[in-house]
Copies of this chain bind each other. A is one copy, B any other.
């Protein structure tokens, strides 16, 4: 029962032309209200479905956008990007666009093989979600469709990107600790490892500066080596009252570690994280953390790429979106 109802079928039944049906179904001028209603009703009744391909072939647009996630981000820890995808498609819907999720295999990334959906003109542009190799960035910049990078930035190339404001997030969460009476605040992370760890640290530092709290070298606690491998955390002799962790996983490890050493959280030590990932839900007590604002970032990314669709040559640069603090139970107010 493959339905192949076309506009012509509707037109024939009504004794009008397919042009009129097209106008009616698209709510365009040039059809009487009465006829328009009649056409819409009949279309519904006959189970008519619009054939996007016919439109696509006319105006050279697929009304699909490729959303690319490198496969290394699809492991068990990373449902994060799936939530991004969900939000992106919801927003694209308002533009009458659909999203096509394309998971970029490591091999294709290494060999600079572009997504097949590009070569088959199934998409009008790309949103790249997460860090990809620099060579691939260059390659995808060359294509004749707009591209925007989401949650990833590189200064090697001039790219348009939408990012969470790591600096501001570090600043705000530290402010929050200060407001709760903390002065002995440590930062947990290797500040040479990645730019997001670094930026979050600098936000932490700015908060200290503003509140005239000295930056202590023994309060910068390393959690990994420069290649990213986690190392054992060493506590300073003079224990801090609060820890700003560069992500939730580290916060999770830190809390377990503190508890094994007889410290209570948050009674003895407050701990905050970043990301609001699964790990923030596994700590006991539940973790106060900074959540990436998926909705606003998605909105911004879609808005920019839609504009790029019409102005391919305009540059949009970096767009920073603030995260938001999720208040839970891992911070104690000091009196």
Contacts and interface: CB of A to CB of B under 8 A. Distances in A.
Report the 7 A-B pairs with minimum CB-CB distance, sorted nearest first: A53-B56, A101-B101, A53-B53, A79-B79, A76-B278, A52-B120, A53-B57
Contacts of A4: 60
Interface string A67-79: 0000100111111
A63 B333 CA distance: 58
Contacts of A98: 100, 116-117, 120, 122
A281 interface: yes
A227 to B, nearest CB: 21
B57 A54 contact: yes
A193 to B, nearest CB: 22
Interface in A103-146: 103, 105, 116-122, 144
Q: How many copies does the complex hold?
A: 2
A89 interface: yes
Interface of A: 1-4, 47, 49-54, 56-57, 60, 62-64, 71, 74-79, 81-83, 85-86, 89-90, 93, 98-103, 105, 116-122, 144, 277-278, 281-282, 312
A129 to B, nearest CB: 12
Contact of A2 (B50, B103, B118, B144): B144
B50 A281 contact: no
Given A53-B57, A76-B278, A79-B75, A101 B120 contact: no
